[in-house]
């Protein structure tokens, strides 16, 4: 899950290289988050929690959010979407949110962290876009988790045109994924 990059990629692609990569958000179980030393999550909405063209969260997402709440992990939705749309989703599921976050700029992350008194070390951003979510997290100085997008074909055209570029970044960066176990073994050796 933790990524490793070549030095060249780290130099040239730093803002777009997530520290961690998961396929779906519920891979981030409380135990995994503990291992990552993450207590607070800034959570992207579109294509991370749900496909773009619906306002409903599926049961497995709600179950995951529930496990985080039970484990005491704080979650705040962080989206570039309009307040009217994101606020409606957040209110429906009784979640906190920050809309119009202006990712890849870090200001949205910082606004939430200041409001909630979260420190950088224990905060992670979780999202599907390298050039918005991951970059915002890198600039904000927090941990970054990239999620494989859910049905990216449902996104508006201006988001979709970034996807081939994102794939290119990943290919160029030669992302190596390992498990925590493998990571631990490596550091022990
Ligand atoms: Mg997204």
Instruction: Note the pTM of the prediction, 2 decimals.
Output: 0.88
Note down the domain range covering 50.
Answer: 22-155
What's the gap in Å between 15 CA and the centre of ligand 1? 17
- Local confidence band at 182 (pLDDT 50, 70, 90 cut-offs): very low
Q: How many CA atoms lie within 13 A of 69 on its CB side?
A: 11
**Residue 3 within a domain:** no
**Residue 59 within a domain:** yes
What's the gap in Å between 117 CA and the centre of ligand 1? 24
**Residue 87 within a domain:** yes
**Residue 17 within a domain:** no
- Local confidence band at 138 (pLDDT 50, 70, 90 cut-offs): very high
Is pLDDT of 187 > 80?
Answer: no
- Local confidence band at 177 (pLDDT 50, 70, 90 cut-offs): low
- Local confidence band at 137 (pLDDT 50, 70, 90 cut-offs): very high
What's the gap in Å between 11 CA and the centre of ligand 1? 25
- Local confidence band at 180 (pLDDT 50, 70, 90 cut-offs): very low
The CATH number of whichever domain residue 58 belongs to comes to 3.40.50.1000
What's the gap in Å between 43 CA and the centre of ligand 1? 9
Q: Given this model, what pLDDT does residue 176 score?
A: 53
Structural domain tally of the chain?
Answer: 1
What's the gap in Å between 185 CA and the centre of ligand 1? 33
Which ranges in 1-149 belong to alpha helices (H)? 7-12, 30-36, 59-71, 83-92, 107-116, 135-140
Residue 99 backbone dihedrals phi, psi, to 5 degrees: -100, 175
Q: Is 126 helix (H, G, I), strand (E, B) or coil?
A: strand
What's the gap in Å between 93 CA and the centre of ligand 1? 18
What's the gap in Å between 49 CA and the centre of ligand 1? 8
Q: Given this model, what pLDDT does residue 52 score?
A: 93
What's the gap in Å between 68 CA and the centre of ligand 1? 20
**Residue 176 within a domain:** no
Is pLDDT of 125 > 90?
Answer: yes
What's the gap in Å between 129 CA and the centre of ligand 1? 6
**Residue 188 within a domain:** no
**Residue 168 within a domain:** no
Is pLDDT of 94 > 80?
Answer: yes
pLDDT tens string 145-169: 999 999 888 888 878 888 888 888 8
- Local confidence band at 174 (pLDDT 50, 70, 90 cut-offs): low
| Torsion from C-alpha of 59, 156, 41, 8, nearest 10 degrees | 130
Mean pLDDT across the chain: 90
Euclidean distance between CA atoms 147 and 134, whole angstroms: 10
Q: Given this model, what pLDDT does residue 175 score?
A: 55
**Residue 182 within a domain:** no
Ligand 1 is an ion; residues with CB less than 5 A from it: 44, 46-48, 128
Q: How is residue 42 annotated by DSSP?
A: E
């Amino acid at each position: 899950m933790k990524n490793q990059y070549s030095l060249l990629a780290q130099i040239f692609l730093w803002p777009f290289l997530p520290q961690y990569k998961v396929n779906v958000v519920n891979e981030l179980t409380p135990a995994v988050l503990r291992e990552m030393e993450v207590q607070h999550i800034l959570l992207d909405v579109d294509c991370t929690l749900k496909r773009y063209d619906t306002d409903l969260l599926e049961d497995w997402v709600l179950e995951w959010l529930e496990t985080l709440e039970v484990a005491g992990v704080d979650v705040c939705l962080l989206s570039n979407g309009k307040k009217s749309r994101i606020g409606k989703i957040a209110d429906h599921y009784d979640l906190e949110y920050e809309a119009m976050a202006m990712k890849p700029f870090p200001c949205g992350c910082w606004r939430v962290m200041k409001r909630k008194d979260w420190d950088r070390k224990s905060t992670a951003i979780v999202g599907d876009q390298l050039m918005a979510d991951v970059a915002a997290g890198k600039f904000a100085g927090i941990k970054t988790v990239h999620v494989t997008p859910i049905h990216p074909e449902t996104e508006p055209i201006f988001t979709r045109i970034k996807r081939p570029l994102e794939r290119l970044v990943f290919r160029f960066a030669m992302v190596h994924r390992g498990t925590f176990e493998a990571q631990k073994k490596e550091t022990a050796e």
